[in-house]
Chains A and B, each alone.
Chain A
Amino acid sequence: MTRYTLGGDEHLFVELSESMSLSAFFTGSLITRELAARGLSGILDICPANASFQVRFDPDVLPVARLRAELEDIEAGLAAASGILQTRVIEIPVLYDDPWTNETQLRFRDRHQDPQSTDLQYAARINGYDDVPSFIEAHSAKPWFVSMVGFVAGLPFMYQMVERDKQIQVPKYLRPRTDTPKLTVGYGGCFSCIYSVRGAGGYQMFGVTPVPIYDPEQRIAHLSDFLVLFRPGDIVKFRPVDRAEYDRIVAAVDSNEYRLRIAPVEFSLPDFESDPAGYPARLLEVLDAR
């Protein structure tokens, strides 16, 4: 049941579901894209989140009742919609179990649920995996939806395209760390994230990517058009790499010769629902065609 609630006089907050689900995220994506397409004057920001979204507006131009009526109209029309999302698929290499997050973990062990294990060992165990390699396989084999961008500039929250019983779940640290390496691949609740900047953080740390995702100076090739890589609705595939390949990619990024693997793709919710195990792999084939 969709819940509309005010965030002061400038925000309308819309909760599609209290719990996380792919359908709530997908509904939010379609509604917010259609709202943007309608181009109402007075809308300042349309912010999709995991199972909710928020619209910031100028109440002097657009009364909230009018905005809400527009959103209800869009939602009512969705039932007949095709369940198709035009988006992009992006490959992100990850060095799992890397030296930098491991060193950071050691400094904050007193804030962790299980000070005797690494974050990866802990996450593998509580999710019923025999060992860390099989856990990394589960984290990297199936793609993820960018279900929200935010907290800080350009940080993606990602939700994995697997059935509910296969979702990885981990708690956040007992108390947040004061430090997280830049480009750490983290995990909290049922979400993966990539820390866009170095700083505080509460998510468990699984690895680092050599690929920058935020560049306010826009020097990096794949961030030269815009300083933030991810958009809500993007599909992300993690590819485990070893230290040698990580170093090669870092060197390529430094000399601005690294080329991101990215391709447009059409996601179909009906196709996913009829074949949740096989469809995600077919979705990724567009990367190989590049």
Chain B
Amino acid sequence: MRVEVVTPGLATSVQDAGRSGYYHLGIPPSGAMDQLSYRAGNLLVGNPETAASLECALLGPDLRFERDTRLSLTGARTRFTVDGEPQPADTVVDVAAGQKVSVGFATAGARAYLAVAGGFEVPEQLGSRSTYALGGLGGHRGRTLQAGDELTVAGPTSPPPPGREIPDELRVPLRKEYELRMIRGLYDHRVQPDSMDTFLAETWSVASEADRIGYRLKGGTPLDFVPREAPFGAGEDPSNIVDACYPIGSIQVPSGQQPIVLHRDAVSGGGYMMVGTVISADLDLIGQMPPNTRVRFTSVSLDEALAARADRARWLDKLRAALVG
């Protein structure tokens, strides 16, 4: 089935669970930034959990479907309509041939996931359908959607009936303030101890430069570095290191000024020191942060991070139990 992109939205892209095994060549994992909402959407419409969906950042698209279908919108709250009629989020929705589906501006959260029965059909590249726009790879022609694009949906399928919804207790709450748990390390020894304490005590806010590559944060105190003689090849600035790999979720602080948290389209390496890494269980939260969201970092141990990871896995298991079959 064909789907016409009437208006593309701000930065709408095809995403799935992402790709791994190519980061050493500068190709990041990509994939839906909020994996929980993305996977819930697929489960809701009866798709394999990792079918390709549309990630709608801040302002979503207007789409016209060639045939009758069913779909769901999960994640960010938006004005979500079919031919102008408001539709519920987190619920299977019927769409008739020729109707226009509109995903409006996010009123809570930052990324809505549009899952359609059958999943969006784009060629797999390096084992994934996810868009990596910086490298022109994957998704629909390696880029975000444009007006006039024509997408394809796989089919036919027999999706669950309209009205089926995600149970209340399995809907991730969207907030205006988040705590991000991180494991200190990497180059945090370059920062004076009391300056690192301040970094962790302060509330930051998401700056306008916040995208799939990374989230810039503002409003906190610049870091105070431990004096050193610059190592050969690093660069003179106290925040410079000999160019190294950047973990997904790592928090770099160029010139000690504004932290940047790297996400699923991360630049894979560079020459800025990092003070730690957001734990894997909390990366989904970042995907739901629009500009001006307030953020605090909390330092946790590896054991705490692994416990949070197990909690997230149990959450996904509950979603599967509630929505599969």
Contacts and interface: CB of A to CB of B under 8 A. Distances in A.
Interface residues of B, number: 51
Contacts of A190: 232-233
A149 B247 contact: no
Interface string B181-222: 011011000000000000000000000000000000000000
B293 to A, nearest CB: 20
B277 A154 contact: no
A15 B268 CA distance: 16
Contact of A47 (B135, B235, B267, B268): B268
Nearest to B142: A216
B186 A5 contact: yes
B182 A19 contact: no
Most buried by B among A9, A60, A231: A9
B302 A9 contact: yes
Interface in A37-69: 44-54, 56, 59-60, 64
Interface stretch (B17-25, B49-57, B106-114): B17-25
Interface in B1-48: 20-27
Interface in B253-292: 267-271, 274, 276-280
Contacts of B75: none
A36 to B, nearest CB: 10
Most buried by A among B21, B132, B242, B279: B242
B21 A49 contact: no
Contacts of A222: none
Interface string A150-175: 11111101000000100001011000
Nearest to B184: A6
Most buried by B among A17, A48, A51, A153: A153
Name the interface size band of chain A. Answer: 35 or more
B137 interface: yes
A44 B20 contact: yes
Contacts of B247: 7-8, 10-11, 13, 54, 56
B147 to A, nearest CB: 23
A201 to B, nearest CB: 11
Contact of A51 (B25, B186, B242): B242
A21 interface: yes
A153 to B, nearest CB: 4
Nearest to B213: A152
Contact of B185 (A6, A52, A60): A6
B134 A191 contact: no
Interface string B158-199: 000000000000000000000000110110000000000000
A214 B183 contact: no
B312 to A, nearest CB: 11
Contact of B243 (A191, A196, A231): A191
Contact of B231 (A19, A46, A196, A216): A19
Given A7-B277, A59-B306, A190-B233, A149 B26 contact: yes
Given A18-B242, A56-B247, A214-B135, A228 B233 contact: no
A62 to B, nearest CB: 12
A153 B232 contact: no
A115 interface: no
B125 interface: yes
A20 interface: yes
A100 to B, nearest CB: 20
B137 A216 contact: yes
B129 to A, nearest CB: 14
A152 B26 contact: yes
20 contacts: A5-B186, A7-B185, A7-B247, A7-B249, A8-B276, A10-B248, A19-B234, A50-B233, A54-B244, A59-B306, A151-B270, A152-B135, A152-B268, A153-B135, A154-B27, A171-B236, A172-B235, A189-B242, A214-B135, A216-B136
Given A7-B249, A19-B233, A49-B269, 14 more contacts: A8-B247, A11-B250, A49-B244, A54-B245, A56-B247, A59-B306, A148-B243, A150-B245, A150-B269, A153-B135, A164-B232, A188-B235, A197-B135, A216-B142
Interface of A: 5-11, 13, 15, 17-21, 44-54, 56, 59-60, 64, 148-155, 157, 164, 169, 171-172, 188-191, 196-197, 199, 214, 216, 227-228, 230-232
